[in-house]
Structure 1
Amino acid sequence: MRSTNLPLFDLFQRQRRYVVPLFQRPYVWEQEEQWEPLWQDIAGRAEAVLERDARGSRSDKIGSHFLGAIVLNQIKVYGRQVDTVEVIDGQQRLTTLQIMLAAFRDEVMQTEEKRLADDLERFTENDGVRDAEVERFKVWPTNADRRDFEATLASGSFQALEAKYPLQWRKYGRKPEPRPRLVEAYLFFARRIRAFCSASPMESSETGVSSTQPAFASERAHALYEALRRHIQIVVIELEDDDDPQVIFETLNARGVPLLPSDLIRNFVFLRATQQGESTEDLYSTHWAEYDERPAEADAGKGERFWKQMERQGRVRRTRLDLFMHHYVQYRSAQDLPIGHLFQAFRTWWESNPTRSVSDELRELRRHSDVFASVLVPDGDGRTDVFAKRLNALDTTTVYPVLLMLLVGGKERVGSGELDGIVTDLESYLVRRMVCDLGTKNYNRFFLSMLQKLRASSEPISRSTIQQMLLAPDGSAGEWPDDKKFAKAWLERPLYETLKPMRCVMLLEAVDRAMRTSKQEAVTINGRLTVEHVLPQQWEPPTWPEPADEAGSDDESTSERRARLLHSLGNLTLLTQELNSSVSNGPFAMKRPEIARQSGLRLNTYFQDVVDWDEAEIIKRGELLLEHAKRIWPRPQSAA
């Protein structure tokens, strides 16, 4: 490597293209963390120029400010092509500087300083190039940003860019949808530059004053120009033939906005593609563009991207792409993998096969991620979709590698008609253990062991195959509770207190679904359902009578029994938020007809014929719900 300290304008003065590899992440810098500190550094140097000139001593030395480093790798060009380098590190900084220079150019263009504007033009565009559509830009960002970047640099003014990207408001939204970050960056710097060039010497550059003497505004604009040209420097590191771009890229990852594991994986894979002589453009557009460009589901907000959405896994939140990569590497390697070491594990797995083809692997990655996306956000009504929806409430992701095996990698081994039974048993195992409070601590090892056994065999995968593993007494995750244990927990445990509300909703929704027959209409619930205690948590006599004395036992007082059954499933139902609020702590004589009249759930038709509500009725209804639960989540006495 060789490094050089260059003033900012020297970096952009020559005819050169700084190309951001298409597989690097999109633009992510933002105002508070990056734009504002960068502007303060630049404005500080410009103020130093003004102070020197005010003293009348232009020979006074002004210290330079370093903006950090960029790492470049020379690309071969031919004929009249513009000299081109690949940006290995520092693309966010380079892109931001170009946006800022364009904003400065356009602000000056609105004044009488045409010569200054022409000078600035030289630092944002290459002149007299052969392929003007592409080569005219000094910086050429990654695919995901190119459209917004071109529109921003070509806008010509703050007002024109605002008109091209007007604020959009969601229905009932309190804030407008954010514009693309490149656009917001331009608008930010344009405002700051306008304020700086129109402020008086005694005022802050952030006051936003809009009217001063033209000559004075010109003086401040020239001070900013000089600061950028002479007193802002950047370290340019250029790689040589024996330097490994991937090693450099990973070493420098500690600076700036931390790269996600999926960012490192993307860079690693496409550098391997380059080494194999494959077309990175084709590979990106065919396979990887999905991860940068796929829009999120309708309720996620305009402009959001599906794979950038955050999902919770245990106590941490990860992007969907990182989450998928984590489970995919576990599935392909059949090894336990802490998500904090995802990139290292991916690289180790990849390099375990020196002949691995990038195009083949990206094709497999897409095949699995398409299915994984349908598991994360299921939109069907089949048995696997229902399981996927319930998994979200169960908050159990350790089964995902097994699902990738069943739904993609080992799909041809799953017998005809077997899959529905398999996912039913997996769901039963998870739900019964949750209801019985048997814990999830060893799920990772348990499902990894299941995956290893499935991968080690070439035999067909049947429902009985999975049942044998779930029923195995030596399973590290423990037992699959039988009907007796399941019934005791279902009827007696205060599940509302021990489970999260969304899990109680999942259990009750499943029972309601099971209660429906072919003679009844399908009901779509548009609003969010909430858990209602039929016997209220804050019950008070005489609205709700004291429990009968005979209800107690030697081990439990009547009040303790009521407190426990109060939160059991027999006393819980589902209502819309509005209906829940209206009946709340009211007496049963008021609740019963209101629920019967307003609710369309089969779960609530039970109350139509009930006169009083007490502990005996709670147990009776709990037993009815239990019979449905045992059919939804069956458990064989032994493997078939």
Structure 2
Amino acid sequence: MLGQGGDGRLAEAVAYFQQEIDAWLAESPEPHERLGALVQTMREQLRLVIIDLEEHDDAQVVFETLNSRGTPLEHADLIKNLLFRNAEHAGADAERLYKAYWSPFDQDEWRTEQTTGRITRSRLDVFLTYWLTMRTRREFTASALFKEFEHWLNSAATPMEEVFAELARYAEIYDRIDQHPLHGVEGRFLYRMKVMQTCTPMPLLLFLYGLDDAVLPTERRHHAIRAIDSYLVRRAILNLSSRDYNNVFRDLVTAASRQPACADEEIIKALSAMQGHHRQWPTDAEFRAALEQDPLYTRLYRHRVRILLEALEDELRTDHTEQLTVPVGEHLGAKLTIEHVMPQSRHDNWPPLDDDPYEGAARDELVHTLGNLTLVTAILNPALGNMAWDDKRQWLSEHSLLRLTHGTLLNPPPATEISGWASTWNEHRIHTRGAYLASLALSIWPSADELLATSALSGLDNR
């Protein structure tokens, strides 16, 4: 207040009002009169309420009660108030606890709004919901966060210092997960989670990343993430419901906590045992059938098709491949669009086969299957349009750098014995390429049996 500077929210508020007042005065031709009016208003019209507390009054309770009569506080503010009230009752140094653990939560990065499902909340409220779900493994609505936290705090009987320290520790873990580089097993999985707007696995991820490497080695954590990724992607490609995912991932936290040292195997076994349309892990046969036969482009959200094609491109790359513009990440993904090799409107340049009694009617769904799709830049896509195959092949050859295009479209997929592959593009080639890409997808997102076998072969089962 003396203009000597300082750190923290209060100093920021003083600086803000100084700037606003300076700008407001500069707008007036008579700044002294305007300043006089402001001073008079502050002196005579501003009302301050002063509450004198008796020895046994609780300032935190008074704060909570007063605010309950006006604009509702965020759950994080109520939780903060509850924690510091309990800390003061326990005789702890509240100022030290604030500086050591809570102060980052009062920064803007934790107060920005996020949308999960249809609800918009602060990032801190979202994090606290994930953390409390991991801790309690109970189902509760977003509106019940504070009451659930209060119930847990009263029943857990955890020393307040430990509660503050644990929240700060898991907040750092949440930050690392949220900002993980988009490469490797973890990065690709987290990217796909964001694209599919799937946040229900987060309590399980907090649990896995919260385990020390001495308890759960990195290889095992990666193994668990591959299982979760396979479960989510397989269900997404089959267009299965996500309505029960909250219960699924709470159950997985419970399963992983039974034997943290082999949490990956516990997760795989729990997932493979799930039954019913809303929970089951699709089999290899079901996954392959959807990849080879379903008109994915029309049946699925575009972002699901795109992450499938991106993952296939990434899998086709090797250590010998130039690392130019690998199709991962939201920014690059926005530049790559889905291209139908045999166009959706194809009648002029793509006549049906001579021996086709149905005159190409089967193509109406076939053109939307995986075997006929690739990725191109947003600029190239409209240029290709409904081109005949010879022209389209030349354009793709000149402008595309993707292995998905060069390795399975312009050239035959490995072990494909079709002479003159590039001379034409027809139903037979679409089926052949689709079968190859489906096999590749099964290796990216393996079944439970394969993952468990991999665990045994790699020595991950050594306790």
- Cα distance in 2 for partners of 1:602, 1:436 equals 25
Match 1:635 to one of 447, 454, 458: 447
Match 2:339 to one of 527, 533, 536: 533
Secondary structure of 1:607 counterpart: coil
Secondary structure of 2:356 counterpart: helix
Scaled by the length of structure 2, the TM-score of the pair is: 0.82
Change in 2 beyond 3 A, CA 1:615/1:186: farther
Secondary structure of 1:233 counterpart: coil
Question: What are the residue-to-residue correspondences of 1:326-345 with 2, within 5 Å?
Answer: 326-345=129-148
**Alpha-carbon contact 1:536-1:584 (below 8 Å) kept:** no
Confirm whether residue 260 of structure 1 aligns to residue 65 of structure 2: no
Superposed displacement of residue 542, structure 1: 1.4
Change in 2 beyond 3 A, CA 1:512/1:221: closer
Change in 2 beyond 3 A, CA 1:411/1:223: closer
**Alpha-carbon contact 1:596-1:607 (below 8 Å) kept:** no
RMSD over equivalenced CA pairs, Å: 3.2
Secondary structure of 2:115 counterpart: strand
Change in 2 beyond 3 A, CA 1:359/1:536: farther
- Cα distance in 2 for partners of 1:540, 1:458 equals 57
Residue of structure 2 equivalent to 1:577: 378
- Cα distance in 1 for partners of 2:45, 2:291 equals 72
Confirm whether residue 512 of structure 1 aligns to residue 313 of structure 2: yes
Superposed displacement of residue 237, structure 1: 3.7
Scaled by the length of structure 1, the TM-score of the pair is: 0.61
Superposed displacement of residue 477, structure 1: 4.0
Secondary structure of 1:318 counterpart: strand
- Cα distance in 2 for partners of 1:425, 1:460 equals 16
Structure 1 unaligned regions, length at least 5: 1-123, 126-131, 135-139, 153-181, 199-209, 294-304
Confirm whether residue 543 of structure 1 aligns to residue 357 of structure 2: no
The structure richer in helix per residue is: 2
- Cα distance in 1 for partners of 2:270, 2:357 equals 42
Question: What are the residue-to-residue correspondences of 1:558-577 with 2, within 5 Å?
Answer: 558-559=360-361, 561-577=362-378
**Alpha-carbon contact 2:235-2:282 (below 8 Å) kept:** yes
Superposed displacement of residue 336, structure 1: 1.4
Change in 2 beyond 3 A, CA 1:317/1:233: closer
- Cα distance in 2 for partners of 1:551, 1:480 equals 39
- Cα distance in 1 for partners of 2:382, 2:396 equals 12
Residue of structure 1 equivalent to 2:393: 592
Residue of structure 2 equivalent to 1:144: 8
* Amino acid aligned to 1:507: L
- Report the more deviating stretch, 569-578 or 628-637: 569-578
Residue of structure 1 equivalent to 2:187: 385
Question: What are the residue-to-residue correspondences of 1:64-463 with 2, within 5 Å?
Answer: 144-149=8-13, 152=15, 182=16, 185-192=17-24, 210=29, 218=33, 225-254=39-68, 258-293=72-107, 305-354=108-157, 356-379=158-181, 381-409=183-211, 412-414=214-216, 417-455=219-257, 457-458=258-259, 460-463=261-264
Change in 2 beyond 3 A, CA 1:534/1:380: closer
Superposed displacement of residue 350, structure 1: 1.2
Change in 2 beyond 3 A, CA 1:222/1:429: closer
Give the greater-gyration-radius structure (CA): 1
Superposed displacement of residue 361, structure 1: 1.9
- Report the more deviating stretch, 437-446 or 362-371: 362-371
Superposed displacement of residue 540, structure 1: 4.2
- Listed one character per residue, the Cα deviations across residues 217-266 of structure 1 (whole Å, up to 9, x for unaligned) are 74x76555444433443444444333333333333335666432222222
Structure 2 unaligned regions, length at least 5: 412-421, 454-463
Change in 2 beyond 3 A, CA 1:274/1:592: farther
Superposed displacement of residue 388, structure 1: 1.6
Change in 2 beyond 3 A, CA 1:249/1:597: farther
Secondary structure of 2:325 counterpart: coil
Superposed displacement of residue 412, structure 1: 4.6
Superposed displacement of residue 473, structure 1: 4.5
